Structure 1
Amino acid sequence: MTTRILKIILGLVLLVVLAGAAWLGTAGRPLLLIATGSTSQGLCEAAFVSHVDPDRVFREQHAPQMRGLAWAVRRHVDRTRREARVSVLGAFDARAVFRPGLGCLLVHGDGPVPEAAGFEPSPIASPYPDRVVGSDDPAVRAALERAFAEPDPAHPRNTKAVVVLHDGRLIAERYAPGYGPDTPIWAHSLTKSLTHALIGILVREGKLRLDQPAPIPAWRRVGDPHGSVTVDQLLRMDSGLPFDETDGVVNPLTRMAFLTRDMAGYAAGTPLAHPPGTHWAYGNLDYMLLGRVVTDAAGGSAVDAERFARRELFAPLGMAHTVIQTDATGSLAGFGGSYGTARDFARFGQLYLDDGVVDGRRILSAGWVAYSHSQTLDTGYGAGFWLNIKHDTRVPVWNAPWGMPQLPRDMYYARGAFGQYVVIVPSEKLVVVRMGISLDYGDHTGDLVAAIIQALHARPSP
């Protein structure tokens, strides 16, 4: 009897092993490569872009998403080579390498790193004081205190930075331990709004038109249905490309970002799901293509693109610590590859609040800001920014709210995964930036901004 039971157990173990091996060789392979790729890039960025503790970033950002798999992850940050390597069960290796001035690049294999030397960017002067600016208003301080509170340890907010500008002045800011005014934080899809600005600069310079077919070489073939997609439709996400950020780990976004060397090429090769201009779908693919458009206009290489962004946008605004990373072909990752400080993004929000003008210099042409928050189809999205005008329906696929009903309807905002926000409220002359690692989006940014507005209204008249 004992021998028979042992044979049954061994047989079941063998079946599990064989099933596991089959899974790892098919459906499991892309999932694990996405896990190691995203983790290696995140740890590289933590160590060499943000200069924060990579182990802490792994605990807060990566391990919770892996659930029971985190124990099998092996990771190493090499500060001499300035790279991070990650594997699972000794396989599915991924490597991300830091390139000066360009951020981190996920390298597929052990081959040479494109533009490995990067470049030494000229320093950008910050318009802010060296010290952290605290508010003299108890109600504003209380609002920031609540933003950093952790009422539910099972669902941490992990707020890292809040910056408040009112009437163009920095009136309050706060940072988590280990973070500060000079700490670049992964901005995720706030990058799309940066890309919107860079496209706007090219339009102002006469190098692009909104109504022209998007200058994507792969789409210029006769008969290609992509050929009628315009720059405007890419910015508005009604290009006809599919909704690419679904609930599954393996989706068009993650395949593009972590499994593909040429991200813009992947995006360009994705079939249309709808006729252009007829259907809205959240589009990382759209903004990766726009990143390639900017790169081509700047000269074609990663260094060309980064220098263009710094010269035309970051330097005039005093965004001293912002970088938009690229793929291995040099294309700006215009969908989500940027790092910047909360102060940097506050300056960016102020640019839009001031109709594209900074210190008397017009960065964005007249009307570009209004275009950014003009409605796309019947949605709560504009062009590169979310709107606060649509509260009767929810975002398709995600089933998330379009806006923040507790805030004025003229509010519009940039939004990124894990709770990155640049909230612009023209009627209140207010910009609020919130950045963090909130995996379940439990950051309550609308409540934070509402509390700040209430506090400002309660102030006695000067």
Structure 2
Amino acid sequence: MRLTYLTLSLLIFMSLSCSSEDETVLNEIEETESIYFPPLNSETWDTVSPLDLQWNTSALTELSDFLNSSNTKSFIILHKGKIAWEAYFNDHTETSGWYWASAGKTLTTTVTGIAQDQGLLDINNKVSDYLGTGWTNITIDKENLITCTNLLSMTSGLDDTLGDSAAPENLQYVADANNRWAYHNVYVKLQDVIATVSNQSWSDYFDENLKNKIGMSGSWFNLDDLSVYWSNTRSMARFGLMTYANGKWDNTQIVSESFLNEATNTSQNINKSYGYLWWLNGKSSFHLPQTQFEFPGELIPNGPSDMYCALGKNDQKIYIVPSKDLVIVRMGEAADASNFALSNYDNELWEKLNNVFN
């Protein structure tokens, strides 16, 4: 989005004559004008040259070779919303669909925030306020300790060893809510909460309040008790861009900035590197799925310290880096023998990316 002559004149006038409150508005206008948003009903997307950004183009060639050799299907780098680099591999194309896996958990986070912004729910309320009792296989007094925030932060205290199913019979007691962090697909119950409070299906509410408002393609499909999202890569990038823009799409606030700030900061005192289904870099320690160990150091040492990430099985990824104005998306098969959402591949990938940006 380019500043028009009229807009520039307005900004100059405001900067000379405005109060401190008006200066806040001016800053918001400047911030919005600096971010490009692709049209909602078009496949066109403005680009910016890596040369103009003073990136190392020879390192981009090395990055491309690395991505191709690590089972990548697609990769996009946005800078302030514009496509700075986009590549497809192994017969994958711009229109090809692929699954988000657990990177799609952050879609549920965002839609939960939208529902709260609309006054349909309060994430601090217990889940049974919305689903009734008996949505787990534990006693009512223990079940009533579990809030929507516990589902967002993976601190429900429910068993995480019974596979991916979120069926009630698999949701058994391990610890009181807030006393244990464990990566678990119980978060999907938030989709049931939203369907209940909105009197719509989960997918209809999602389409109306997020997907259509930012021009995404794709759809949800059921996998056992889970609902998994499938789309092309640019739709994943659109979601990352909206999040990078503090919940805005162009001049429309999709989800409140205050909720996103909560979602992308440490959500509990056990795993410092976890927000509301977002992974956080730059913290002093982290936990990994299927373990109760605390590991010292940053989640992705080679990555920027302010980066937060949506990470899914087989290396589906959205990296958001506010300090560098970057949104980076990777879709594909597992890069190596590990198919977890997080592996050493993230660190190796950021070594290649740093060569591009530095």
Aligned partners of 1:216 and 1:268 also within 8 Å: no
Q: Distance in 1 between matches of 2:185 and 2:41?
A: 31
Tell me the percent identity. Answer: 24
Aligned ranges 1:45-56 → 2 under 5 Å: none
Q: 1:212 aligns with which of 106, 113, 125?
A: 125
The DSSP-based 3-state class of the residue aligned with 1:228 is coil
Please tell me whether the aligned partners of residues 323 and 338 of structure 1 are also in contact (alpha carbons under 8 angstroms): yes
- 1:228 offset after TM fit, Å? 2.2
Residue 338 (structure 2) pairs with residue 440 (structure 1): yes
Distance 1:275 1:144, change over 3 A: same
Q: Does 1:226 align with 2:140?
A: no
8 Å CA contact 2:45, 2:82 repeated in 1: no
Contact 1:280 1:377 in 2 (8 A): no
Q: Given that residues 125 and 315 in structure 1 are in contact (C-alpha distance below 8 angstroms), is that contact kept between their aligned partners in structure 2?
A: no
Q: For residue 218 of structure 1, give the secondary structure of its aligned residue in structure 2.
A: coil
Q: CA deviation at 1:434?
A: 0.8
Q: How many residues of Structure 1 are paired with residues of Structure 2 in the alignment?
A: 301
Deviation at residue 241 of structure 1 after TM alignment: 1.2
CA contact (8 A) 1:186 1:339 kept: yes
| Alpha-carbon distance, 1:167 to partner | 1.4
Change (3 A) 1:172 1:396: closer
- Give the counterpart of 2:248 among 357, 360, 369: 357
User: Could you tell me how far 1:238 is from its partner in structure 2?
Assistant: 0.4
Q: Which is bigger in relative contact order (C-alpha 8 A, separation at least 6)?
A: 2
| Partner in structure 2 of residue 148 of structure 1 | 67
Deviation at 1:279, TM superposition (A): 1.0
Counterpart in the other structure of 2:155: 238
What amino acid is aligned across from residue 355 of structure 1 in structure 2? N
Secondary structure at the counterpart of residue 413 of structure 1? strand
What corresponds to 1:426 in structure 2? Answer: 322
Distance 1:443 1:409, change over 3 A: closer
Match of 1:318 in 2: 215
Q: 1:315 to 1:387 in 2, by over 3 A?
A: same
- Partner in structure 2 of residue 451 of structure 1: 352
Instruction: Verify: 1:181 aligned to 2:94, yes or no.
Output: yes
Q: Match of 1:310, SS?
A: helix
- Supply the distance in 1 between the matched residues of 2:42 and 2:176 (Cα, whole angstroms): 45
Larger-Rg structure: 1
Could you tell me how far apart the structure 1 residues matched to 2:44 and 2:159 are? 41
Give CA-to-partner distance per residue, 1:378-433, whole Å, 9 cap, x none. Answer: 31111110011345454263579772111121111000001111001111111111
1:389 aligns with 2:289: no
SS of equivalent residue, structure 1 residue 414: strand
Query: Does the 8 A contact of 2:237 with 2:328 survive in 1?
Result: yes
Choose 189-198 or 342-351, whichever is displaced more. 342-351
Q: Which amino acid aligns with 1:412?
A: Y
Give unmatched runs, 5+ long, in structure 1.
Answer: 1-123, 151-156, 245-250, 257-262, 458-462
DSSP-derived class of the 2:144 partner? helix
TM-score by length of 1: 0.59
Work out whether residues 163 and 434 of structure 1, in 8 Å CA contact, stay in contact via their aligned partners in 2. yes
Q: What is the distance in 2 between the residues matched to 1:361 and 1:450?
A: 36
Write the mapping of 1:38-437 to structure 2, written as runs, cut at 5 A.
125-126=41-42, 128-129=44-45, 138-139=57-58, 141-150=60-69, 157-214=70-127, 215-219=130-134, 223-244=140-161, 251-253=162-164, 256=165, 263=166, 266-267=167-168, 270-285=171-186, 287-299=187-199, 304-320=201-217, 322-326=218-222, 333-334=226-227, 337-375=228-266, 376-379=268-271, 380-390=273-283, 392=285, 394-395=287-288, 397-398=290-291, 403-437=299-333
Residue identity opposite 1:377 in structure 2: N
* 1:452, distance to aligned residue in structure 2 (A): 3.2
**In structure 2, what is the equivalent of residue 56 of structure 1?**
none
- Structure 1 pair 426–179 and aligned structure 2 pair: CA distance change class (3 A): same
Cα distance change, pair 232–127 in 1 and its aligned pair in 2 (3 A): farther
Question: Contact (CA 8 Å) 2:45, 2:83: kept in 1 or not?
Answer: no
The residue type paired with residue 428 of structure 1 is K
Whole-angstrom distance in 1 between the partners of 2:262 and 2:153: 10
Q: 1:60 aligns to what?
A: none
Task: Tell me how large the CA RMSD over aligned residues is.
Answer: 2.9
Tell me if the contact between 2:279 and 2:311 (Cα under 8 Å) persists in the aligned partners. yes
List runs of 5+ in structure 2 lacking aligned partners.
1-39
TM-score by length of 2: 0.75
8 Å CA contact 2:126, 2:146 repeated in 1: yes
- Relative to structure 1, the CA distance from residue 317 to residue 363 in structure 2 (aligned partners, 3 Å threshold; closer, same or farther) is same
